[in-house]
Amino acid sequence: MPEPAVAPSGSRAGSPAGRIVWRLRFALLFAVLAVLPYLLSYSQQEIAVLLVINVLLVSSYRLLTLTGEWSLGHVVIMGVGAYASALLAKRLGVPVPFSMLIGGCMAAATAAILSFPLFRMKGFYFLIGSFAAGEIIRLIWKRFTDPFGGPKGLKRIDAFPNIDTGFLSIDFYEPVNYYFLALIIVSISLFILYRIERSRIGLTFHAIHWQDRLAESIGVDTFRYRTLAFVIASFFAGIAGGLYAHYVGTVNPTRFGVDQMVYVLVWAIVGGTATFHGPILGVIVLTVINEIVLRGLGLDTARPLIYGAILILSVLYLPDGLESLGPKLRAWLQRRRRGPATAGGEAA
């Protein structure tokens, strides 16, 4: 897998000037994100909403991979959040924003329970164990029609309540408005995920990934930290599930199947999991390729084939993901610019 993300090396925005540049970049990014939906058609706006939700999904997945474990159950965990939030709103009348939060907590609780059997395993065994656990949950949704609606799933899930306070009224049925709602929630979540990664806890995750025996020998309880990563990742996946359920209005077991998990894997791997922005880059680039190129050219049936080919090519030729392209390109340019000089220096 991708080479070590060396423990995050301090803050990149060390100097005051650097900090201003970073703030400017963020301001620019948010300006683009704020203008973006108005440049898109209605159906593209809907895709933008799903893209924002998927950014949270894949970023939360990355937190789990920090400890070195690759789960195949993450999308099912997202589904736990979606089902929980939908059922709470439908059956018990819990107001939607709270049901989402509780849905996230349910996903986290599921992860906490699953971690006892799962973290007795490592590597392949963990991969297959998480796959089995996810499939069991999915089959339970399929089998038990009573709360879960069986193979057809849940329909007519309550939408996010509209805000109407006389002078301000926001209808979240409109994709643009839901886009901003999702953007705010996802931005906050990403900020938290980022802070966690840069904290002492995040450093410990890295340590467990690359040197688990060594970490244990200095008193790190690797089981607890693995569980912690799993629980936090699952909480945010559950939130993503809630955002999805109350936007689309239906959830069913197929929606959280292995195929969807494969897409998450592809995003993470094509983007590269060594840095925080890698998977986000992956999901954005592949979604844009998917929507613009494939749908535009009418290649919808060929979509899995192209995804498969991209996955294989990136594992073979770009094992560190798209994120490694930037530094590689920069190094190559620098070599070219300084080419003759360095060659001369070495000769001397």
Partner 1 sequence: MDLLWQTAINAMYAASYMALIAVGLVMIFGVMGVINFAHGELYMAGAYCVVFLYAQEKFPFLVGVAAGLIFVGAIGLLMERGLFRPLRKNPLGGLIASIGFLLILQTLAVFGFGRRMGHVPPPTQGKIEIFGAILTYQRLFVIVAAILLLAALWAFLKRSKFGWALRACAQDAEAASLQGISMNQTARIAMFIGAALAGVAGALTAPLVSPTPYIGHSIIVTAFIIIIVGGIGSLEGAVIAAVLYAFVHTFVTTFFDGVIANIVGLALMFAVLVVRPTGLFGARERA
Site residues (CB under 8 A) for partner 1?
1, 70, 117, 120-121, 123-125, 127-129, 131-133, 135-136, 139-140, 142-143, 258, 262, 265-266, 269, 301-305, 307-312, 315-316, 319
233 vs 266, beta carbon nearer partner 1: 266
Count of Cβ atoms closer than 10 Å to residue 14 Cβ: 9
183 vs 310, beta carbon nearer partner 1: 310
Q: How far is the CB of 318 from partner 1 (least distance, A)?
A: 11
- Please tell me the distance from the alpha carbon of residue 155 to that of residue 90, in angstroms, as a whole number: 10
Burial class (CB in 10 A: 0-12, 13-18, 19+), 195: exposed
Q: How far is the CB of 102 from partner 1 (least distance, A)?
A: 26
Q: Closest Cα partner for 133 from 258, 236, 240?
A: 258
Burial class (CB in 10 A: 0-12, 13-18, 19+), 6: exposed
Q: How far is the CB of 222 from partner 1 (least distance, A)?
A: 17
Contact 72, 127 (CB under 8 A): yes
Q: How far is the CB of 298 from partner 1 (least distance, A)?
A: 14
Q: Closest Cα partner for 54 from 197, 243, 233, 235?
A: 243
Q: How far is the CB of 289 from partner 1 (least distance, A)?
A: 15
Q: How many residues does the chain have?
A: 348
142 vs 277, beta carbon nearer partner 1: 142
Q: How far is the CB of 312 from partner 1 (least distance, A)?
A: 4
Q: Closest Cα partner for 118 from 259, 258, 226?
A: 226
Contact 228, 201 (CB under 8 A): yes
- Neighbour-count burial for 132-154, b at 16+ CB within 10 Å, e otherwise: ebbeebbeebbeeeeebbeeebb
Q: How far is the CB of 126 from partner 1 (least distance, A)?
A: 9
73 vs 81, beta carbon nearer partner 1: 73
40 vs 311, beta carbon nearer partner 1: 311
244 vs 307, beta carbon nearer partner 1: 307
123 vs 161, beta carbon nearer partner 1: 123
